[in-house]
Amino acid sequence: MTETLSVVEPATELELAAIPRAGVEQADAAVARAKAAYPGWRAVAPGDRAALLRRLADRVEEHGEELAVLEARNAGKPIADARGEMGMVADTLRYYAGAPERLLGDTIPVAGGEALTFREPLGVVGLIVPWNFPLVIASWKLGPALAAGNTVVLKPAELTPLTAVRFEAIALEAGLPEGVVNVVAGPGSVCGRRLTEHPDVAKIAFTGSTEVGRGIAAAAAQTIKRVTLELGGKSANVVFADADLERAAASAPMAVFGNAGQDCCARSRILVERTVLDRFMEALEEAVEGIRVGDPLDESTQMGPLISAARREEVASFVGPDAPVAIRGSAPDGPGFWFAPTVLCPVDNHDRAAREEIFGPVASVIPFEDEADAVRIANDTIYGLSGSIWTRDGARALRVARAVESGVLSVNSNTSVRVSTPFGGFKQSGVGRELGPHALEHYTEVKSVYLATEPA
Ligand code: NAP
Ligand code: MG
């Protein structure tokens, strides 16, 4: 008997859909389909593979509104954000459609013959993704994996499987051969785990928590699977006294509260030079109070609910009676996993709120004394994913950017992700890079071939 997966809408707490729940058997069947499809897919001429990826991007665009509404309802994210994400899915597929014809090798001078290198696909790749940005994070893996000639098994998070399931059908509609893209919607501890242990899976590309990532790396070691991990973060948004304080304060709230704080790039530690702390907090308060929290399908909404009751409980544990709550925004009452945007100040970098990834709309403001102090605090974390530096001093901006141990940094901006630039973490924020040209390295093996041209 097939088990059912009940999918809940976080803004209403009602069931949004009920779909078959995949288990070990379905995971194995998906791997078998991907394995069977692999020789054919890698043999597709590079130009034809590129054309199919472009067609897939077109189809995603055609279904863009349907996918955006589904994502907004299932993940509880503002519809405007969901539309942007679907746009990025199409852009990412199109960007990697440029790759099949550009996977270049080298010729290397050697004695007695010629040495050549080739970039070969890996085979079947398992993609395991979280619930915060379900389809767009999947696309960062699908794009390079498919472009390089791999076939894939995508496991969405149990809480948000709906856009992945639609995507599987859209891939067929776009003309990708049967078995190239396979989706298994089932629990991580069952389906995800099976993929990490399966001998026919060559690589796992994972995005999720550092804790689950550790387990995946350990499981993958048994069969020497390739692994890329995009994990948690506790990023610093460093605001120097010479910055454009109005802009920095206006931008800081959504750099934490975007996606209701459920963002691995959240700048959840706002480091402010002590001499401007009061001025900054005044401007920040105005910005936080202006955030529109509500119905994800309302065009003007900036922040929706959290993903689940369990997540809300976890977030609330950081805002107990002793928490130094300095600013509290608003949130709707009634059904829905709502949590008001909250700013704690002052926070010491050793406090729990500054050390743990809250993954909810809670920001910590941490005062600092000077540049060295700012760099020290920014780096005093197990994570190193993202971050920002606000200053009008260009030399300082570059000095601090070089000193902060983090994979992605912005100066006078809080943006993190672009299709064409590498994204990933230092330290316990992960292994490997997604997006940009760098991602392709993680979906290919380098092969070296020596051809003797001189008589022995
Ligand atoms: P999670 O619990 O680590 O889950 C991520 C994915 O792994 C889900 O599909 C989950 O399936 C699956 N999974 C769980 N246990 C597994 C196991 N034993 N073996 C294989 N797969 C397993 O993370 P989450 O709670 O969904 O997402 C929040 C975390 O993701 C945060 O820590 C955040 O920082 C991180 N994140 C990082 C990035 C980045 O790019 N660095 C981006 C987004 C999120 P089920 O959910 O179905 O059980
Ligand atoms: Mg989880």
DSSP SS3 for 118: strand
DSSP SS3 for 133: coil
Nearest atom within ligand 1 for CA of residue 229: 41
Residue 8 token pair = 């809940």
Distance of alpha carbon 205 from alpha carbon 126, whole angstroms: 6
| Residue 1: pLDDT band with limits 50, 70, 90 | low
What distance in angstroms lies between residue 159's CA and the mean position of ligand 2's atoms?
9
pLDDT, tens digit (0-9, with 9 covering 90-100), for 141-197: 999 999 999 999 999 999 999 999 999 999 999 999 999 999 999 999 999 999 999
Nearest C-alpha to atom 22 of ligand 1 is from which residue?
188
Asked if residue 40 lies in contact with residue 105, where contact means CB atoms within 8 angstroms, the answer is no
CA-based radius of gyration for the chain: 23
pLDDT, tens digit (0-9, with 9 covering 90-100), for 11-41: 999 999 999 999 999 999 999 999 999 999 9
Ligand 1 mutation pick, 74, 197, 209, 229, max ligand atoms within 8 A of CB: 209
Kindly give the interhelix angle for 79-97 and 134-147, rounded to the nearest 10 degrees: 0
Residues in contact with ligand 1 (CB, 6 Å cut-off): 128-132, 137, 155, 157-158, 187-189, 192-193, 196, 207-209, 212, 215-216, 230-233, 264, 357, 359, 385, 425, 430
Q: Which amino acid is at 148?
A: A
Nearest atom within ligand 1 for CA of residue 264: 34
Give the per-residue pLDDT at 334: 85
Asked if residue 26 lies in contact with residue 16, where contact means CB atoms within 8 angstroms, the answer is no
Average pLDDT, the chain: 97
Taking CA atoms, 439 is separated from 43, 148, 151, in Å, by 21, 10, 16
Closest CA to 328 of 344, 338, 341: 341
Taking CA atoms, 179 is separated from 34, 39, 110, 350, in Å, by 5, 11, 41, 49
Does residue 2 surpass a pLDDT of 90? no
Nearest C-alpha to atom 39 of ligand 1 is from which residue?
230
pLDDT, tens digit (0-9, with 9 covering 90-100), for 363-390: 999 999 999 999 999 999 999 999 999 9
Residue 203 token pair = 């690589």
Give the per-residue pLDDT at 22: 98
Full set of structural domains in the chain with CATH:
4-231+428-450 (3.40.605.10), 236-419 (3.40.309.10)
Closest CA to 136 of 177, 175, 92, 194: 92
DSSP string across 150-186: -EEEEE--TT--HHHHHHHHHHHHTTPPTTSEEE--S
What distance in angstroms lies between residue 91's CA and the mean position of ligand 2's atoms?
28
Q: Give the mean model confidence (pLDDT) for residues 221-240.
A: 98
| Residue 228: pLDDT band with limits 50, 70, 90 | very high
Closest CA to 304 of 260, 240, 242: 260
Percent share of the chain, pLDDT over 90: 99
pLDDT, tens digit (0-9, with 9 covering 90-100), for 236-295: 999 999 999 999 999 999 999 999 999 999 999 999 999 999 999 999 999 999 999 999
What distance in angstroms lies between residue 249's CA and the mean position of ligand 1's atoms?
31
The active-site residue out of 158, 168, 264, 345 is: 264
| Residue 456: pLDDT band with limits 50, 70, 90 | confident
pLDDT, tens digit (0-9, with 9 covering 90-100), for 346-359: 999 999 999 999 99
Beta strands in 408-443 (DSSP E): 410-411, 430-431
Distance of alpha carbon 354 from alpha carbon 77, whole angstroms: 25
pTM over 0.85: yes
Residue 75 token pair = 């993940």
